[in-house]
Structure 1
């Protein structure tokens, strides 16, 4: 890694709708890096089109910095500008914002609602809900704007419900804190652990099928994935033997690991942990490959990422979950202690904003970290589409 890595370093915050489906990502640059310069560099990076199905939220501390030559990198079709309300006190800034709105950009005002936002072309509000729920905007502010309105920093399930009832459309924060209590009874948890154990032991497909048949919701989602447009099958798949042939053992195992998070009823909302599990698993795999890890090592990295949220999903201590599975010891150390190479990589991808020192310690450049993030989000988007 070069002594001075000038490539911008940033994290991506998942933003979901009321059904917990991904709708946007918010760019979170490292504090030492300029937010707008980072956005321009990363949005123009080859491969960043993988994020195109989602809106991108870009923070504008100074909207006057947006110049005509920048706009091709920030198309209005999927760019949302978040603007601190203090910036709207300046008349020139308000005029510039109104011009951006006239070009089709959606602008969110972050702060207390005011009439200055109306003449600025603001279409939505953003609010920080971390720690203590702040005073919500007056009803008129939400009703007179098209949105989307974004509540970020959701602290718990109560905050989520209050913001949803107030009229917010988009939500972000730590889904482990606002998804509510773990669902399922003891029998369901034992069945999940039995399935995970069989997967870890590379069990015969008939053994997997026997467990899957006991879990209608999981069975439904697996067949839905195989029959999705992503595979383009001419003839629908109706049983697990066919599914295994279509996916292959490696892909089947990966989808089953992710489908553990698709536990709600088929017509119910998605579990908010699913996008996070998918994104982390695929990012872990990509970063492991960039470190020089072979296919088997990449598989272990993927498993580490997808299993890291099982304690939240099942409402059980991670030690009890690991005890029921036959996992590689490197994976065990990573899940229990965040130790060893896989544990250090997991701790890195769990950071909301990546630490340059940890990126360097992992033997990665800032650009490689961004490449890994892109692969992770591309996979999360695909998973979300296939499980709708």
Structure 2
């Protein structure tokens, strides 16, 4: 008798959790209703090879739908130091569930209660963290003080709301606030926008190194980040790089283009928080490239896919319509169509990365396994990029 065929891996949306400095600290697993038991679906993904190495050093927050059924065997092979079990407050009302969760806590797994628990429930469960949708309301002060944390505020739609929640005692944040940058940020003054677009234009037409160097000299913030990157542990150079010419030589043309495209998202005050759009742009770019390669596209098309991914958030970065951004650049027509209309092969791939679905994957000829592996590669690369820029 042949072995039963395994069902395809579930599609998952990995949602980033950041600290107050916009640095990624954890990932939550969001799965569609078709996945069935969300916890079991997440377990299947986490037990594929090299998952925790790819996502290091981030924690993985797993939703436990039925904590009364959770057994130690389910968690076998999962490193307690990297896993946080998220359980709804309603499910913790039962004393049997509280004892079961406390046993998992004693085994080293961290517990995060989804919602505000009655006094004593958190301690009986062994939970130290609270998670809640704080988009409009905040929990009672004692709810946060009574647990050591970190506490996670979800539903964050703006940097100002993150600041309010941080003041209230939250230290982890999730939501779409990265897509709503402050209107008065340093990247949005007119001169900076012009320099950014000029640099992008030079990169798009493969300008020579001297032209790039001239423009970099006019932008101290971008130049600073470029030199910081080249001298980081990512390149392990024997002696420090002090000039743009050296940096260009060390990186090489192709890598220079890629890093500069990402460095555009790193423009910030030297002592300010990281730009939350940076890792998102890195994930999109890497996923586009990996999936393009999986479809058998040649090296040039893979590079174009990378560009589409990294440029797809420029309208949000620059706070201007994408048509105006594209008009200032010398991009291939296929790239322009993808960015403006989400059509053509590149546009279809971008839509798939933005909103994956089983039907879209099937139409593109991409398996669930290939898509999950592309996600892991993309997040691994984005994590490394964020740590080196």
TM-score range, shorter chain: over 0.9
**Residue in structure 1 matched with residue 46 of structure 2 by the alignment:** 43
**Residue in structure 2 matched with residue 314 of structure 1 by the alignment:** 318
In the alignment, is residue 30 of structure 1 matched against residue 32 of structure 2? yes
Q: Per-residue displacement from partner, 1:292-321 (whole Å, max 9, x unpaired)?
A: 111111111110010011111111110011
Unaligned runs of 5+ in 1: none
Describe the shift of the 1:321–1:331 C-alpha distance in structure 2 as closer, same or farther (beyond 3 A): same
- Checking the alignment, whether the CA contact within 8 Å between 2:180 and 2:316 is kept in structure 1 is no
**Residue in structure 1 matched with residue 148 of structure 2 by the alignment:** 146
- Checking the alignment, whether the CA contact within 8 Å between 1:158 and 1:178 is kept in structure 2 is no
In the alignment, is residue 124 of structure 1 matched against residue 126 of structure 2? no
Bigger RCO of structures 1 and 2 (CA < 8 A, at least 6 apart): 1
The residue correspondences of 1:104-115 to structure 2 (distance < 5 A) are 104-115=108-119
Shift of 1:96: 0.9
**Residue in structure 1 matched with residue 362 of structure 2 by the alignment:** 360
User: What's the secondary structure of 1:73's corresponding residue?
Assistant: coil
Whole-Å separation in 2 of the counterparts to 1:65 and 1:364: 34
Describe the shift of the 1:73–1:31 C-alpha distance in structure 2 as closer, same or farther (beyond 3 A): farther
Of residues 174-183 and 73-82 in structure 1, the stretch that sits farther from structure 2 once superposed is: 174-183
- Checking the alignment, whether the CA contact within 8 Å between 1:221 and 1:266 is kept in structure 2 is no
1:219 corresponds, among 212, 217, 223, to 223
Q: Per-residue displacement from partner, 1:113-136 (whole Å, max 9, x unpaired)?
A: 312222111111111245xx1x32
- Checking the alignment, whether the CA contact within 8 Å between 1:10 and 1:28 is kept in structure 2 is yes
Whole-Å separation in 2 of the counterparts to 1:157 and 1:226: 30
Describe the shift of the 1:18–1:334 C-alpha distance in structure 2 as closer, same or farther (beyond 3 A): same
1:233 corresponds, among 237, 244, 251, to 237
In the alignment, is residue 264 of structure 1 matched against residue 264 of structure 2? no
User: What's the secondary structure of 2:22's corresponding residue?
Assistant: coil
User: What's the secondary structure of 1:92's corresponding residue?
Assistant: helix
- Checking the alignment, whether the CA contact within 8 Å between 1:157 and 1:177 is kept in structure 2 is no
In the alignment, is residue 287 of structure 1 matched against residue 288 of structure 2? no
- Checking the alignment, whether the CA contact within 8 Å between 2:62 and 2:83 is kept in structure 1 is yes
User: What's the secondary structure of 2:76's corresponding residue?
Assistant: helix
1:162 corresponds, among 138, 161, 164, to 164
Give the number of equivalent residue pairs. 380
Q: TM-score, normalised to structure 1's length?
A: 0.94
Q: Per-residue displacement from partner, 1:277-300 (whole Å, max 9, x unpaired)?
A: 111110111111111111111111
Whole-Å separation in 2 of the counterparts to 1:59 and 1:357: 25
Shift of 1:72: 3.4
Shift of 1:4: 9.2
